[in-house]
Every structure is written in C-alpha cells, then in structure tokens.
Amino acid sequence: MLENGADYLHLDVMDGHFVPNITFGHPVVKCLRNKIKDAFMETHMMVSKPEQWIEPMADAGVNQYTFHIEATSNVTELCHKIREAGMQVGIALKPNTDIESVEKFIDVADMILIMTVEPGFGGQKFMSHMMEKVKWLRRHYPTLDIEVDGGVGPSTIQECAMAGANMIVSGTAITGASNPKEVISSLRDTVDSVIKSF
Ligand SMILES: O=C(CO)[C@@H](O)[C@H](O)COP(=O)(O)O
C-alpha cells in the first residue's frame, strides 16, 4: 500500500477517436511510473488502434493492458502480443456489446472489464442492467477477475459485488468525496465482505 492509499492505478487513456475525449498517452504514464514505483498499473485503452501502444506502454512500466474488444478484429493476436510484451491482458466491453462476444477469448485474458457507462467521461450514471453481464461471467467463470467501471460508488458498490465483480474502478465518488480514503476503504470493505459471504 502506498502512502496515498493507492496500490492499484487504473489509468484512463483516451485518444479522441475511439471516445470523444482525450486524456494522455505513454509519456505521461512513464513519468507516473518513475514517481510511483510500487503500484500495479492498469491502462484502460479507450483507443482505436490498441495494437499501436502495446510496446510503448510496456516500456512505460504498465502491468496490465486493457483494450476494447470493439477496437480490433484480431483479439487473440492482440492478447498474445500484450503477454509477449510482459503485461497482463484485460478485455473491456462497451455497454452495447454482448457478453457472448468475449467468451472465446477468456482463456487468453486475465481480466474482463464490464463498462457500466459509455466510455469517455467520468461522472455518468451507473447502468444497473450491465450487472446481467457480470452475473453471467461469474456464473460461468468462478475464478475470473471481473472489473466494473463507471458510476461506481457507495450507492452502487453492493450491487456490483453481489453480481460478482471483484475489481472496482471508481472516479467521481472518490475525487468528489470530503474524505476519499474513507470512501476507498468502504468500497473495499463492501467487496471483501460480499466475496467472503459467497
Ligand atoms: O473509463 C471511464 C469513463 O470512460 C471511467 O473510468 C470513469 O472515468 C470513471 O469515473 P466515474 O464514473 O466513477 O466518475
């Protein structure tokens, strides 16, 4: 655990093309890595050409490269390239993408990310019906890492955990809180206690 409470960083990389917003790329990620040595870094690649950034992100010290299934026609090859570059593989699904589309790639992935908002912006409303995808995944893959992202906070965390998500991305609920550390702890505690109750 780092001093600021972060031992896992989920970094949103947006290219202004796959999503209508731009954030940052591998040079910024590399700077962050130089400052934060110990954290596990996941880059959520909301980009049109995920194959283009594998090597630069590996060089920047990224641990997990999560790309969108909608952005490539060759998921398996991409997964292999990411692993060959020394990173773990995450596959992300936009809200309108069917869960069955990822099934044949689960063996070559380390984590599936179910978007619970349209990717591109923080502060959107949690899409509760995405929990059907999480439940489906958990039912079929009991040990899979399943991440949810978008509108997740104290009022929606229980639903995510009960559906089977074990990895949570939360933005506004933490950055907008008067006590962010308390919110992080409470989100973690909720997920931990639901997992223990299964
Ligand atoms: O990737 C995205 C949006 O594209 C998310 O990571 C959100 O940025 C999370 O923010 P909140 O919905 O929690 O505010």
Task: Give domain limits for the chain.
Answer: 8-197
Cα of 152 from ligand 1 centre, angstroms: 8
Q: What is the mean pLDDT of residues 182-196?
A: 96
CA of 58 to the centre of ligand 1 (A): 23
**Ligand 1 atom closest to 116 (CA):** 12
Give, for ligand 1, the residue of 22, 117, 147, 160 to mutate: max count of ligand atoms closer than 8 Å to Cβ.
117
Tens digit of pLDDT for each residue in 107-160? 999 999 999 999 999 999 999 999 999 999 999 999 999 999 999 999 999 999
Mean predicted confidence (pLDDT) in 27-39:
96
Q: Which long-range contacts (CB under 8 A, 24 or more apart) does 53-58 make?
A: 53/13, 53/25, 53/26, 54/78, 54/81, 54/82, 54/85, 54/87, 55/85, 56/25, 56/26, 57/26, 57/29, 57/85, 57/87, 58/85, 58/86, 58/87
Supply 110's token pair: 């380390």
Tell me which fold the domain 8-197 belongs to: TIM Barrel (3.20.20)
